Structure 1
Amino acid sequence: MKKLFPVLFLLFCLHSAAQQISSKRWTDLFSYNNVLAIRDDGNRLVAATENGLFFYTPQTGEISKLSKTNGLHEVKISAFDFNGESGYGLIGYKSGALDVITPEGITYVVDIPLATGYMGDKKINHIFISGKTAVISSGYGVSLFNLERKEFGESAFFTNGAGFDEAKKAAIFNETVYVITTGGIKSKSLTANDFPVYSTWTPFKSGVYTNITATNAGLYYTGGNAVYTEAGTTVGAGFGEIQDLSVAGANVIVADANQISVFNESGQQLESLSGQTFTTGFYFNNELYGGTKTSGISNQSNEMIKPDGPYNNVSYKITMLGDKLFVSTGKRKDRLNNANADPNNLGFYYFNGTKWYYSSFFLNNPPRLNVLDVAANPSDPAEVFFANYSQTTGQGIYKFRFNETIEDFEPQKYYNFNQTVGASYNRPAGLVFDENSLLLGTLAFYNG
């Protein structure tokens, strides 16, 4: 049985000012850089990121945010869709839980109906909303959800022998659900009595497909670097590494790694946007917007739109000095000895009490980074040291100085402890200043 928990303490409406942080005691320090999806509520853009939503009003430049501190129930968002006309939206989490957004508030859906014997990942892969109906894709198959009644309809469990075909993404077009599975695209009428019976679903297209969406006038899906319509014709050309498909009215937006393009229902390209590494795109009030992984939303003036926050949500340790925060991002493999650097090659984040900073040094082809600790000199807080606990070239301790004029850290000195013994030895791990402002540090696997 599904469990629904309405938000008693907060009546949230996307058209009100309720997104502002309501608690005087708590605020989030999340990164809103990695944009997963962009929609609109009629007046504003609504962007879903890893740990929350943010809202941008183009006419005024106002940015506000919604997270677990002021209305949402979880972090680690994995899917999102919102219908600006109806005011209904749905947030899916990696845990398999959902937050239902309606004009009356936000409701928490704790569990989703699962097939007996399904032991796989509960992550919500994708959400597509048509009117007040949502189709939810996950590892077991798909479920229909009535947003107005806040309840599940039919579920189809994609059983395949002893396992399940994963439902990666889905769309609704002409009262039919189209689902990208591991075996191609399958379809089924929304009103079919045998909707739950996977063996009765119709193969629509065989092959490997990655994205699917629909307007009122057409179905669109991607395979390889091409965008197809329901009839099998292509839209546009020259795409590379297509990341996402989205719709705005009758227009379809194609996001590949380096460009966003918008097409009308006749297949004519209206606008394009480049200059960033994109994750998704959206078209609003005749302007094209691109979601990025590291910089929030980019517009056609190359302005980066996002709430202030750390560069990324990965963190290992927080060091405080007065109202200043230094967040290191490294880690040890299996919490033991080997370095386990983040694939994004992260440095450290700095919060000066009012604003977050991330050094340009970490963005401009730095060495392999695995920052385990950061220490600021209490006698000279602009002087900062960090320990790079890696097992390759660049391992050591770095001295930075924060330049207030350019609002950036500038490298001052590099201390290399492994010039003759190799990078697996003399790895700096911890740093601290004593009461006399003397820097103390620890080395792992010391070899003098």
Structure 2
Amino acid sequence: MRISVLVPALVASILVAGCGTSSGDGATRTPTAQTTTASASSSASVTATPARVDRVPVPDVNPSDTPFKDGWSSYGGVPYTGCGGAYYSAVHSAEAVQVFRPESGEFWHPTKPSVQPGEVENKTHCTLAGVPTDPDLVWVQQVTVPAQGLSPERKTVRVSVQKVGTDTVARTATVAVDGWTGSPAATRSTILLTYGSKLVGVDLATLKQGWTGPSEYRSIGPNGLVAKVDKSNTNRVWTLFSPTGQQVASSPDQSADGKGPVGWSDGVTGDVFTTPDGFFDVKAGVYRPFDKRLISDGATVSAVVGRQIFLNGPAIAVVDVDSGRTVFSMTAAEVSAARIYESWYFDGHLYLINRNDGSGAYSVTTIADRKEIATSWLRRPAATQLGWTWVSESKGTSMCETVGSTSGKGCAAVLVRNVDGRYPGPWY
């Protein structure tokens, strides 16, 4: 049996589809709202207010079957791409970087900072940082400075901060010498860089090194980060840190011993960080364990949707963040008996595929009353963003099985503006 997992990488994790053009000159490109010009009888021209964009195709940069694993990431509910991995080499066009602007429904294409004459750009990464509703784009560049006179050639790391939607860098500084590895990440107040086994925090406002954190971090969001911390040689725990590096809460003793990746944080606010056995509620500043019966039955974290956590695998469950209660569950035996092959969840709705002797049966079921409300879907909401919902949508009349892929299964991704804080539908 195969159970699909909805995991945006934070890291994350988190997307595809649509089309657009860009010139890398810092100007906003796709999509654009049309403006109309009306002429009054006095011959004066009046420009009408641009129409509000409520549905935006997501540019397809690297198709896969899960959102936020196809080149897209999300910071505090703001989707962006082009900031790391295979996309983030010095030779790659700056046009690869795209940041969604929730207020306008447009994608912003920034211009990468230039190095000084004679310098060699080795690699450039970026990340969003600061307040999600008004974020900064942080560029981190490793540069080789040529030998000059008696000074030898050296490598340095330069950090530049640019307000999203603007054309110029607001501030820049050299923060460290050679040794930076990996992609940067950020909280509301701190840029996080990895130096070997150290996690170094750089203050977003001053670009001065602020603190050195644990190296085995697993999830980072606007409101903090989660990492493994050694309490002793035989006792490792998950620990929640504030955006500026203070310890807030920890999981039970030995809970992190031998455990794998944490999973990912809430895509909207970063107020939920999951571990293999439970989760941190950042708002309450506490750790809440999952029902041990779910974990022993094979349920693993698949997605955080608002203030709910979806677990699937051999067993399926939905857990309420505020109370820690399991509000829906199916044991591994029940999942097997129903021949559930794939499952997804969004805001009270389960999207299921049952495998019956080689054929698939599709259904949309509400968890409140376990009522089947549809036997097919051409669209499926996949992830909550800042004022928008990431939706997997069929390109034609065939079933849209995957979360956000444009390759192989006929799916595309679109962003749909929420109404009164929730996805307005249609649901299938």
Q: Which TM-score applies when normalising by structure 1?
A: 0.42
Question: 1 or 2 for the larger relative contact order (CA 8 Å, sep ≥6)?
Answer: 2
Larger radius of gyration: 1
